[in-house]
């Protein structure tokens, strides 16, 4: 009871004593559960949470300029990366052959916005087989292994809410052909929420509300859960960072990795050209001369519409694909570096002062996240590569619109159908490309040279 008294005193002195409002009516197990949750809250961080809310209301002025990017050498289908990237692809190939590369898949989200009950990575995405996002990435990784003789280990960041379901899904599917010892799962951290009065939000009478700490939480999670140590023990020097909702992105892109290594970068990123000034993507640019990602909300209308010839001046939209030096991430983590905290005004279910459950109709509280791209300003050197949108950026995020499952399938089939038509003069009514067989249009065009047996009057499934 002494521990409880101290815990209550700590929260009351921080102005958060309301979290004990229903303590006396809770059973013993509920009390223990709440006490464990509250003991994990670092009350010294409340000032940081309040500062993030203040920054959301009044973002600081920025002095912006475009940042250097290795632009596409050919923007015409089937596209070509920058000459510099293609020239150093052998360096990336060697790093893969030498076992110096690992893949990190961020998969903490649920499929709620897709109308799917389960981890987003379990969502069936490909148009003919319904192959799930997780299997797509596993097969891409297996192909890397077949091509280079070494399959990079895979680290999967999950959320505490979907960890069991994710691990069970991989186990039930025999890790999709990967070696179980080379697939590592670790959970990201959690953050509380604050209401408009700066009070911690209670999800129920015996539980504090908490939510995932964002993809930027991967930095400390990799360190705390021993993943960085595991990478160093395996000789991994470079980390290919991917998000599970973008099934089109290459898992370990030799040209991208080669350019990252050749440029001596600690952080690298891929970008695509913004489709229009209003597209909601973060922009890679210089902020007071320092490279970083600036959210679209922090651009003025004039800046968003500014032109350089026929192109937008600020066109480099981030697609959340990165390469990181493991030494760089280790240094940040061991130094206790915290990435900036970002607040967002959201609808958060909670209990009110009378203990009644409330499902708010409008934003009522602030959630907090850290973003992985905030490592960019901390890096000694940064490299940025432009990639073709339809080749490497087809995310599945919402129930409708271009980033819906149907929007993905349409764009996916348009892209690969165009490849078949380029090679054969005909386009099949539907198409799916096994990730073991090919990754992009150029590879499909090459496969089509030996495609005498393809029946293009029917849906075409190119098998690996």
Domains and CATH numbers, the chain: 59-396 (3.90.550.10), 398-464 (no CATH)
Write the DSSP assignment of 176-204 as a string of letters. GGS-GGGEEEEE--EEE-EETTSPBPEEE
Confidence of residue 336 (pLDDT cuts 50, 70, 90): confident
Of residues 41 and 3, more confidence is placed in 41
Q: Is the pLDDT of residue 368 over 50?
A: yes
Q: Is the pLDDT of residue 2 over 60?
A: no
pLDDT of 455 reads: 92
Winning range, highest mean pLDDT, from 106-110, 386-390, 454-458: 386-390
- pTM of the predicted structure, to 2 decimals: 0.94
Instruction: Report how many helices (DSSP H) and strands (DSSP E) the chain contains, helices first.
Output: 15, 23
Q: How far apart are the first and last CA of the chain?
A: 62
pLDDT of 19 reads: 96
| Cα–Cα separations (whole angstroms), residue 42 to 7, 49, 204, 340 | 11, 11, 20, 16
Give SS3 for 213: coil
Specify which residues 210 forms β-bridges with. 192
Confidence of residue 259 (pLDDT cuts 50, 70, 90): very high
């Amino acid at each position: 009871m002494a521990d409880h008294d101290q815990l209550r005193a700590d929260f009351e002195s921080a102005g958060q004593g309301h979290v004990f409002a229903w303590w006396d009516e809770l059973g013993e197990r509920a009390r223990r559960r709440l006490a464990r949750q509250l003991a994990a809250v670092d009350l010294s961080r409340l000032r940081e949470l309040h500062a993030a809310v203040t920054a959301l209301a009044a973002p600081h002025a920025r002095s912006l300029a475009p940042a250097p990017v290795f632009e596409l050498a050919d923007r015409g289908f089937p596209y070509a990366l920058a000459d510099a990237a293609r020239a150093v692809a052998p360096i990336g190939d060697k790093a893969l052959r030498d076992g110096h590369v690992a893949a990190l898949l961020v998969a903490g989200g649920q499929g709620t916005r897709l109308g799917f009950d389960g981890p987003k990575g379990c969502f069936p995405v490909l148009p003919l087989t319904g192959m799930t996002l997780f299997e797509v990435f596993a097969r891409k990784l297996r192909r890397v292994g077949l091509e280079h003789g070494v399959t990079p280990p895979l680290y999967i960041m999950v959320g505490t809410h979907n960890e069991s379901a994710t691990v069970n899904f991989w186990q039930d599917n025999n890790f999709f052909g990967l070696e179980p010892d080379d697939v590592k799962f670790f959970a990201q951290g959690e953050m509380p929420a604050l209401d408009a009065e700066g009070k911690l939000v209670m999800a129920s009478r015996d539980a504090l509300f908490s939510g995932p700490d964002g993809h930027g939480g991967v930095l400390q999670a990799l360190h705390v859960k021993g993943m960085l140590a595991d990478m160093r023990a395996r000789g991994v020097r470079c980390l290919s960072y991917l998000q599970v909702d973008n099934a089109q992105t290459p898992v370990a892109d030799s040209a991208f990795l080669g350019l990252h290594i050749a440029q001596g970068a600690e952080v690298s990123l891929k970008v695509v050209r913004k489709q229009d000034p209003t597209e909601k993507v973060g922009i890679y640019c210089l902020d007071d001369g320092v490279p970083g990602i600036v959210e679209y909300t922090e651009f003025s209308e004039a800046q968003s519409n500014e032109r350089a010839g026929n192109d937008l001046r600020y066109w480099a939209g981030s697609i959340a694909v990165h390469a990181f030096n493991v030494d760089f991430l280790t240094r940040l983590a061991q130094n206790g570096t915290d990435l900036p905290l970002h607040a967002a005004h959201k609808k958060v279910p909670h209990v009110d002062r009378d203990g009644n459950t409330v499902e708010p109709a409008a934003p009522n509280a602030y959630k907090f996240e850290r973003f992985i791209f905030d490592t960019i300003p901390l890096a000694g050197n940064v490299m940025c590569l432009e990639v073709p949108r339809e080749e490497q950026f087809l995310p599945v995020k919402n129930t409708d619109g271009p980033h819906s499952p149907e929007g993905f399938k349409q764009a996916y089939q348009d892209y690969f159908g165009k490849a078949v038509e380029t090679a054969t003069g005909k386009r099949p009514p539907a198409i799916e490309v096994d990730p073991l067989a090919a990754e992009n249009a150029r590879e499909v065009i090459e496969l089509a040279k030996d495609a005498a047996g393809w029946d293009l009057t029917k849906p075409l499934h190119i098998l690996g």
